[in-house]
Amino acid sequence: MRFSNSTAVSTLLLLPFAGMLMPSCASSDRSGGQAASERLAYPATRKVDQVDDYHGTKVADPYRWLENDVRVDAEVASWVAEQNKVTDAFLASIPERSAIRARVEKLFDFPRYSAPSKQGSRYVFSKNDGLQNQAVVYIQDSLDGEARVLLDPNTWSKDGTVALAGMAFSDSGNLLAFAQSEAGSDWARWRVMDVATGRMLPDEIRWTKFGGASWSKDEKGFFYSRFPEPKPGEEFQSLNLNNEIRYHRLGAPQAEDALVFSRPDQPTWGFGAGVMEDGRYLVISVYEGTDPKNLLLIQDLAEPGAKPREIVGAFANQWSVIGNDGTTFYATTDFEAPRRRIVSFDVRDGLKSLRELVPQQAEVLEDAGMAGDFIFAQYLKDVRPLVRMLRTDGSLAREVALPGIGSAGGFGGRRRDRETFYTFASFNQPATVYRLDLASGESKVFRRTEVDFDPSKYAVEQVFYKSKDGTRVPMFIVHRMGAPRDGSQPTLLYGYGGFNASMTPWFSPTFASWLDLGGTLAVANLRGGGEYGREWHEAGKKARKQNVFDDFIAAAEYLVSEKWTSPSRLAIQGGSNGGLLIGAVITQRPELFGAALPAVGVMDMLRFQRFTAGRYWTDDYGSSDNAADFSALYAYSPYHRLAPGTKYPPTMVTTADTDDRVVPGHSFKFAARLQECHAGDAPVLIRIETAAGHGAGKPVSKAIDETADMWAFLVKVLRMKQ
């Protein structure tokens, strides 16, 4: 049981001209020496005379109108349809596309299980049979008992675009609050079910996002966080402000939910709330952005009229409560420990009673949780998992033996449990579920997944390379056994590099299908992530964001110099913050890459903070509202760095028309600008999914279509033989 602020996480490049710093590209030579008839005809995109003044610098934004919501702006909707026509026609012309889709579908078609969790006396797990759009939640009375369906999101919509967005069981496991999201939106609607009978209760909670639900011990209701109801037509673009914690009593309308905590004087603050397992304490974590820094308050629910008591009162460090024994609380923190440590404190005395249980280690502490009377501490050692099973005094009980390079997850439970479950996966191996007996410490395979993919044909290696400033950066390379090192291999380089997120090895049917096509996969662990703790993260933030791009460019140069591939055979991919990464590096080194796949990217670094959750990201990026931040942001903003007369690599931008995390206007504007400025004959396209959001909850059918289209695009532009 953890409560923290998890929520939703330089070289100035100056253009050699002044005044209006986004010149028109209309007169540039886009032919690249080819006859005009050999180039794609892109839809005409209207330009507007929009110029903004940022601290004395005039910046043009000719495609501002593409920021408008496609749901309400007919001109934007028409532009989307016209762009999709061009993209669909190009993809349809690829002879291998149908065969690629068939193979992708086959690789998606395998059963995928979550690790079980014990809820009261029952066990709960999710399973996707393979091609179901959404995973189904099952429940069983014992581990070897018959499983029955508890929730089937596939029945909630015909096209699978309504997804399960969260679950919270009451202490007995007899009541379930669950959240639904539509078309990939971050907005969630909570419902309540009687678990034993499957009967739906009339309760409905709306206008929640970036938070869960937590039941009171008496099971009469639950705590949750919500935002005010937005104005009609602004649901998917307006800023999310004035979060608050409420308590919903079963049977009462939401309008009567009691206000537990709010800070109207701090409209940008967000809140998460969770009831400790003993039911006595409510832990409130307060966050302001994506940085792992939070305030911490604890309310004694057994004391009538008690208010939340401040334990941590400054946004200086990360504090995550993982459990308690009475008034003794256990937590992880990076206070005086940039790689994090485990501490305890007495809630009555706050941090005056702070006691170190496990000091900072050489490895970074990624996560910790409690099951039974043990703390499971999950570390990363050079991006490889290391799990230690600790007693509550911090002493080591044992290390959990893991099978190699991969990712481990799980190790959760309740204090009364006598077992815990975890998963282990790697790039070439789907997740295997293990059951760990807490008394003996013995792990046994609980459920192994079979997929039509032979892991023995592929090797997973880890290499280290030097970035531009000499920093040692790790990278995983997955390749077919015996693949020649002569520069001929089509290679996909993937990266993220932001928000303290660590890119550990995971199994993806998308990546597996790329390997199956004969490609090599490389995943670089860039600065900005969390692979080596706070210092690694901060080395890729704000004015140091260029380090992330330098790390990725150096990864590409390493793959070329070591003859894993060559520039004409090297494709690059990233999503969200990783989409920003791809957009930035193709504007800085367009000649280095053979193809680019930026997905749902943050492409306009001067305006991201004005939409939905964008204001949170200023922790990592800074804000153009600040003069110093503006200079750094403008130096790499992909939309603004596109230059006339440049031959960009073949590019397929992907986004979704209903993404309300990174609003699709980012990708729309970038694609329009790219098509305007591109001087070569290589295709520069945008693929716009309908009724899909940022990625969470995306139906499997849409994921298969998108994967097949990406790989068909790469097969074409990288000239891969099939």
Active site residues: 576, 694
E strands along 104-195, which residues?
112-113, 117-119, 122-128, 136-140, 148-151, 162-169, 175-182, 188-194
SS3 call for 325: strand
Tokens 């290390």 map to which residue? 399
| Nearest partner of 13 among 507, 686, 475, 635, judged by Cα | 635
Report H helices in 343-476. none
Residue-wise DSSP of 489-552: S-EEEE----TT--------HHHHHHHHTT-EEEEE--TTSSTT-HHHHHTTSGGGTHHHHHHH
Question: How would you list the strands of the sheet with 188-194, edge to edge?
Answer: 162-169, 175-182, 188-194, 200-208
Distance CA 286, CA 267 (A): 12
Let me know: does 188 contact 180? Beta carbons within 8 Å: yes
Let me know: does 668 contact 76? Beta carbons within 8 Å: yes
Is residue 235 packed enough to be buried (19+ CB in 10 Å), middle (13-18) or exposed (0-12)?
middle
Distance CA 264, CA 313 (A): 17
Distance CA 514, CA 103 (A): 10
Q: Left (φ > 0), alpha (ψ -120 to 50) or beta: where does 411 sit?
A: left
Q: How far apart, in Å, are the Cα atoms of 519 and each of 329, 481, 488, 509? A: 49, 12, 10, 14
Report H helices in 60-134. 74-92, 97-108
Q: How far apart, in Å, are the Cα atoms of 712 and each of 47, 97, 398, 671? A: 32, 5, 48, 20
Distance CA 49, CA 61 (A): 8
Q: Give 646's strand partners.
A: 678
| Tokens at 188, concatenated | 């969630």
| Tokens at 219, concatenated | 């099971």
Let me know: does 623 contact 606? Beta carbons within 8 Å: no
Distance CA 651, CA 571 (A): 9
Residue-wise DSSP of 674-703: HHHHB-SSS-EEEEEESS--SSTT--HHHH
Is residue 360 packed enough to be buried (19+ CB in 10 Å), middle (13-18) or exposed (0-12)?
middle
Count, residues in the chain:
722
Distance CA 383, CA 473 (A): 11
| Tokens at 459, concatenated | 């090797």
Is residue 130 packed enough to be buried (19+ CB in 10 Å), middle (13-18) or exposed (0-12)?
middle
**Dihedral sign of CA atoms 2, 620, 573, 238 in order:** positive
| Tokens at 347, concatenated | 């809630």
